[in-house]
């Protein structure tokens, strides 16, 4: 720290920005405090335009936002806004970089995630320095002045992208190549994104330090063969700055360009280039220009990777002293992995086990892929034929890398679901890692003189001891970060799936039960809501999947998880080991579930009254329907589950309505928990046709949970149901308001209730 004051300053600035962003986020944000869907007048300069299939997003910088109410006038200055426009029919109508736009818009509140582990719109835009979102009403270009330089780079990027698509041969390969070469990720398929992320090489799909160092140093060395140092440095520096702007100026790319320029400056001044000082300078510049970068995942991963490559690898290499190039590559990959593991687990709640080895294979290939792609895209500007000729091995290597990723993903334990590691564990992990580095530095002292004096057998024994020590250190760090300390409690989680039901039970023994998984308002609920919520809790599979009845809002996620919907992302979804559902032989959805389950080798069990699962002190009992029960109303066929864990009790009623309630009341009178039920899952999302006063008088729940979607077309929960619940004295929780609802119970009853919102 004393030798590197810049490093200490950068670390201090990062800590301050992190604390403010965590506890006082409004300090860095200028989001107008307005109700959702408020009409405002916006004036701002176009910084970029993102074209999408059905709409365009226009990014405005230095915008002013004006709101005129009945008795007030408010104006916000220097706002970074994203305005959504309908895609114009004529490309000539697309705004250009530098244009000034003004007009009426509808202010839109950021959507916050309903579940832990789900995409949060507010967090995403906050981390990217965006203050507000709006939908266009009648915005017009009021000043056609254009930022010629940036617009040229934007047009060039579009032309290069088109050139790659003409040369690559297929859209999937072209999408990967354009992401690698130009930073344009719009053509990436969801399958490609997921596959590269789950293989631990998603960083190659974003323009980052890898791309900047390859392109920048290659260009500089080529220029040095013909030109003086100063000319070579200036030309390569300008080129890399332009490339960074063209590719979108992500924090990782900006960091890499700053470090590249510092490297050139150090060489020009005859100074020693210090990677940590350069990294610290980049960190300070990025955080001063936009403090919210501290929450940006690309920023965090980029700097953690540099710490691994520059600080940890330097110490580990002096300690381990690898001789072969392969050994050095493995050590470098391991060091980067060690410094990025907590961040990766914190962002995605899973780790690719074989990423160290995949990176050792893939990174050397990237110079060929990048070079081939850049040459092909440039040549394609002249003619498609020359673009295809220059593509050479690039497209084939992309397909090879995709094949390697596919093979790795099919191997056992390829993905380890870690769950949310939490801030405390992450801090302890990095403290222990710093201690390990300190101990390695101590043991390195005097090692050079000893090495020459020791015989080969002693050197081999030392190498074995070091390998064993490294394994022990790694094991301890992994245990600190990921070891699951179970507390002997039952967790009941009501997952927010919009208009639908999904209830998770985690037993004290570690078994996972799920009751329903579906939505009528959220497409692909398993991928967009349920999977993230489960991964956040460290869950990769469901032992028992209960389907109360086969309505879409109760089973669409199940169909998605077992591959019936053909969503293409089944490999990243939780595995189901057993399905239990009432027998409905004439129901097509039930039959579809059975067929899809049979193809996956999943056992399907007929669920009926009297069936019971015992898991230690946990008991799950089905009290409806009877095996012979028939009804024209599918809702009254809903399975009803009675949950007991010591003195804790819960009643889960599916979409049961009045006739069904009458049937189960006799059963409940014979086996009621002492006093009343702690938790009632309100039937049919709070419909007025369910949860009668007579039923509530018998059940007398302390907590009533309603699972329904915001602004749903049915008006759930109905006012009549809410009034009956209030009269019964129950505390009401609703996923449309509270988001995910987590009830933790021990053997004595409810221990805690936590909500996402």
Q: What is the mean pLDDT of residues 328-346?
A: 86
Determine which of 40-44, 188-192, 527-531 has the lowest per-residue pLDDT on average.
188-192
Which H or E run includes 618? strand 618-624
Q: What is the mean pLDDT of residues 50-66?
A: 90
Residue 213 and residue 363: Cα distance in Å, rounded? 12
Q: What is the pTM of this model?
A: 0.89
Neighbours of 138 (CB within 10 A): 8
Residue 474 has pLDDT above 70, yes or no: no
Residue 571 and residue 486: Cα distance in Å, rounded? 27
**What was the pLDDT predicted at 324?**
81
Buried/exposed code over 223-261 (b: 16+ C-beta within 10 A; e: otherwise): beeeeeeeebbeebbeebbbbbbbbbebbbbbbbbbbbb
Residue 684 and residue 196: Cα distance in Å, rounded? 40
Q: What is the mean pLDDT of residues 653-670?
A: 88
Distance set, CA 634 to CA 424, 564, 587 (Å): 48, 22, 10
Q: What is the mean pLDDT of residues 618-633?
A: 91
Which H or E run includes 488? none
* Two tokens, residue 572: 């990243």
Q: What is the pLDDT of residues 117-159, one digit of tens each?
A: 999 999 999 999 999 999 999 999 999 999 999 999 999 998 9
More confident residue, 382 or 392: 382
* Two tokens, residue 648: 């804790």
Q: What is the mean pLDDT of residues 595-610?
A: 94
What is the share, in percent, of the chain residues with pLDDT greater than 90?
56
pLDDT band at 466 (very low <50, low <70, confident <90, very high): low
* Two tokens, residue 559: 């169909």
* Two tokens, residue 501: 């039901």
Residue 588 and residue 91: Cα distance in Å, rounded? 47
Residue 320 has pLDDT above 80, yes or no: no
More confident residue, 487 or 96: 96
Residue 96 and residue 151: Cα distance in Å, rounded? 7
Describe the crossing of helices 456-482 and 422-444 by its angle, rounded to 10 degrees.
170
More confident residue, 426 or 519: 519
Q: What is the mean pLDDT of residues 210-220?
A: 86
pLDDT band at 232 (very low <50, low <70, confident <90, very high): very high
Residue 451 has pLDDT above 60, yes or no: no
Which residues make Cβ contacts (< 8 Å) with residue 623, sequence separation at least 6? 609, 640, 641, 642, 664, 667, 668, 671
Q: What is the mean pLDDT of residues 328-339?
A: 85
Residue 666 and residue 187: Cα distance in Å, rounded? 59
Residue 61 has pLDDT above 70, yes or no: yes
Q: What is the pLDDT of residues 692-726, one digit of tens each?
A: 999 999 999 999 999 999 989 999 999 999 999 99
More confident residue, 43 or 446: 43
**What was the pLDDT predicted at 700?**
94
Q: What is the mean pLDDT of residues 279-285?
A: 95
**What was the pLDDT predicted at 1?**
45
Residue 454 has pLDDT above 80, yes or no: no
pLDDT band at 64 (very low <50, low <70, confident <90, very high): very high
**What was the pLDDT predicted at 486?**
60
Residue 706 and residue 690: Cα distance in Å, rounded? 12
* Total H helices, total E strands in the chain: 26, 25
């Amino acid at each position: 720290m004393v030798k590197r004051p810049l490093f200490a300053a950068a670390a201090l600035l990062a800590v301050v920005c992190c604390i403010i962003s965590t506890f006082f986020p409004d300090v860095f944000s200028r989001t107008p405090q307005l109700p959702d869907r408020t009409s405002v007048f916006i004036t701002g300069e176009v910084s970029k335009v993102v074209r999408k299939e059905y709409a365009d997003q226009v990014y405005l910088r230095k915008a002013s936002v004006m709101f005129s109410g009945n008795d007030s006038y408010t104006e916000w200055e220097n706002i970074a806004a994203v305005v959504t426009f309908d895609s114009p029919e004529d490309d000539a109508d697309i705004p250009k970089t530098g244009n000034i736009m003004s007009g009426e818009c509808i202010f839109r509140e950021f959507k916050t995630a309903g579940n832990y582990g789900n995409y949060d719109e507010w967090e995403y835009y906050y981390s990217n320095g965006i203050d507000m979102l709006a939908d266009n009403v009648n915005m017009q270009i009021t000043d056609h002045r254009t930022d010629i330089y940036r617009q040229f780079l934007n047009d060039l990027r579009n032309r290069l992208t088109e050139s790659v698509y003409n040369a690559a041969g297929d859209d999937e390969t072209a999408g990967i190549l354009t992401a690698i070469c130009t930073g344009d990720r719009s053509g990436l398929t969801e399958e490609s994104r997921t596959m590269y992320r789950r293989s631990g090489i998603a960083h190659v799909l974003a323009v980052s330090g890898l791309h900047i160092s390859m392109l920048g140093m290659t260009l500089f060395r080529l220029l040095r063969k013909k030109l003086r140092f100063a000319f070579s440095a200036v030309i390569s520096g300008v080129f890399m700055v332009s490339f960074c702007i063209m590719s979108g100026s992500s924090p990782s790319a900006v960091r890499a360009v700053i470090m590249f320029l510092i490297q050139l400056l150090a060489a020009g001044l005859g100074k020693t280039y210090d990677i940590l000082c350069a990294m610290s300078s980049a960190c300070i510049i990025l955080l001063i220009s936009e403090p919210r970068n501290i929450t940006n995942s690309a920023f965090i991963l980029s700097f953690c990777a540099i710490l691994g490559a520059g600080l940890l690898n330097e110490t580990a290499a002096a300690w381990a002293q690898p001789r072969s190039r392969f050994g050095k590559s493995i050590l470098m990959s391991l060091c980067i992995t060690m410094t990025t593991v907590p961040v990766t687990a914190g962002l995605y709640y899973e780790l690719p086990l074989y990423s160290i080895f995949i990176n050792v294979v893939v990174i050397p290939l990237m110079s060929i892929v990048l070079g081939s792609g850049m040459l092909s895209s440039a040549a394609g500007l002249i003619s498609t034929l020359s673009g295809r000729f220059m593509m050479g091995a690039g497209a084939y290597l992309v397909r090879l890398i995709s094949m390697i990723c596919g093979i790795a993903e099919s191997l056992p334990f390829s993905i380890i679901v870690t769950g949310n590691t939490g801030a405390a564990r992450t801090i302890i992990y990095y403290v222990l890692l710093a201690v390990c580095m300190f101990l390695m530095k101590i043991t390195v002292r005097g090692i050079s003189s000893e090495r020459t004096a020791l015989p080969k057998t002693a050197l081999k024994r030392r190498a074995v001891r070091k390998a064993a020590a490294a394994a022990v250190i790694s094991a301890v760090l992994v245990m600190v970060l990921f070891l699951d300390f179970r507390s002997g409690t039952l967790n009941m989680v009501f997952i927010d799936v919009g208009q639908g039901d999904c209830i998770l039970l985690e037993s004290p023994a570690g078994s996972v039960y799920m009751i329903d998984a579906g939505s009528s308002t959220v497409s692909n609920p398993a991928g967009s809501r349920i999977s993230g919520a489960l991964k956040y809790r460290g869950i990769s599979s469901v032992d028992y999947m209960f389907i109360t009845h086969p309505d879409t809002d109760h089973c669409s996620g199940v169909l998605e998880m077992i591959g019936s919907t053909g969503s293409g992302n089944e490999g990243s979804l939780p595995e189901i080991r057993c399905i239990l559902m009432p027998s409905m032989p004439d129901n097509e959805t039930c039959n579809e579930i059975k067929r899809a389950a049979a193809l996956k080798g999943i056992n399907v069990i007929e669920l009926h009254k009297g069936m019971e699962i015992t898991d230690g002190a946990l008991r799950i009992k089905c009290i409806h329907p009877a095996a012979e029960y028939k009804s024209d109303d599918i809702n009254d066929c809903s399975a009803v589950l009675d949950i007991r864990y010591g003195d804790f009790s819960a009643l889960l009623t599916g979409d049961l309505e009045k006739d069904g309630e009458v049937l189960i009341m006799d059963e409940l009178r014979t086996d009621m928990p002492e006093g009343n039920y702690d938790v009632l899952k309100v039937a049919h999302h709070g419909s007025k046709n369910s949860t009668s006063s007579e039923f509530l008088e018998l059940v007398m729940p302390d907590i009533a949970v309603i699972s329904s979607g915001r602004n749903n077309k049915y008006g759930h929960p109905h006012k009549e149901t809410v009034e009956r619940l209030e009269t019964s004295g129950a505390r009401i929780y609703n996923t449309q308001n509270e988001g995910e609802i987590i009830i933790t119970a021990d053997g004595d009853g409810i221990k805690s209730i936590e909500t996402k919102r």
